[in-house]
Amino acid sequence: MKELSLNILDIVENSVKAGASLTEILINEDDENLTIVIKDNGCGMTDEVVKGVIDPFYTTRKTRSVGLGIPLLKLAAEQTGGYITISSDTAEESPLSHGTTVKASFNKSHIDFTPLGDVISTVKTLIQGHPDRDFLYIHELKSGRIELDTRDMREVLEDVPLNSIEVISWVGENLEEQYREINT
């Protein structure tokens, strides 16, 4: 993966497949570290499956469908001296608060740090592909905070689908403006 925003897209696609109605993408950044948290309310995973998604070679045929998404994120984090953690509760373990949280931490000054890249494009792609799901995007930087919540959008749009081209363009322009504002 050339950009961390592509890893984010990949991991959130898993949240969507896990049936999450809401997936939160939280990015926190200071001079030294960048932390990405992806938190969903999907079906969750048992401890055994969590182990499986971290190490691709642990995977048995039964869990093979989990693939390379998490190992690639882990590689991107660890090659900067960072780490990832995964916590997950299945609906059986925790009927009211099931879901998965993936956290990845990166050392920004490391030579092998992958840039965050076009994260706006990732948010647009997610909404375009999954207009029936909700996403909360928050990027906290030293200079300010970027936030987009599809639940607010849905309230305004009512029965107009979130993946209408005008709406997707609005998402892009809204985020671009927010980023411009904190950079000036």
Partner 1 sequence: MKSLAELKAIKDRMKDKVVLREGSNDVRVVVGMATCGIAAGARPVLNACVEEVNKSGLTDKVTVTQTGCIGLCQYEPIVEVYEAGKEKVTYVKMTAEKVKTVVEKHLKGGNVVTEFTVANQN
Instruction: Identify residues 101-120 at the interface with partner 1 (CB under 8 A).
Output: 118
Per-residue binding string, partner 1, 12-41, x by CB under 8 A, is -x---x------------------------
Rounded Cα–Cα distance for residues 17 and 112 (Å): 30
Per-residue binding string, partner 1, 41-80, x by CB under 8 A, is --------------------------xxx--x--------
Query: Could you give the 3-state DSSP secondary structure of residue 101?
Result: strand
Rounded Cα–Cα distance for residues 45 and 43 (Å): 7
168 binds partner 1 (CB under 8 A): yes
Contact 88, 44 (CB under 8 A): yes
Cα–Cα nearest to 171, from 139, 155, 147: 147
144 binds partner 1 (CB under 8 A): no
Rounded Cα–Cα distance for residues 7 and 27 (Å): 13
- Summarize as ranges the residues that interact with partner 1 (CB under 8 A): 1, 6, 9-10, 13, 17, 67-69, 72, 118, 121-122, 124-125, 128-130, 152-153, 156-161, 164-168, 170, 173-174, 177
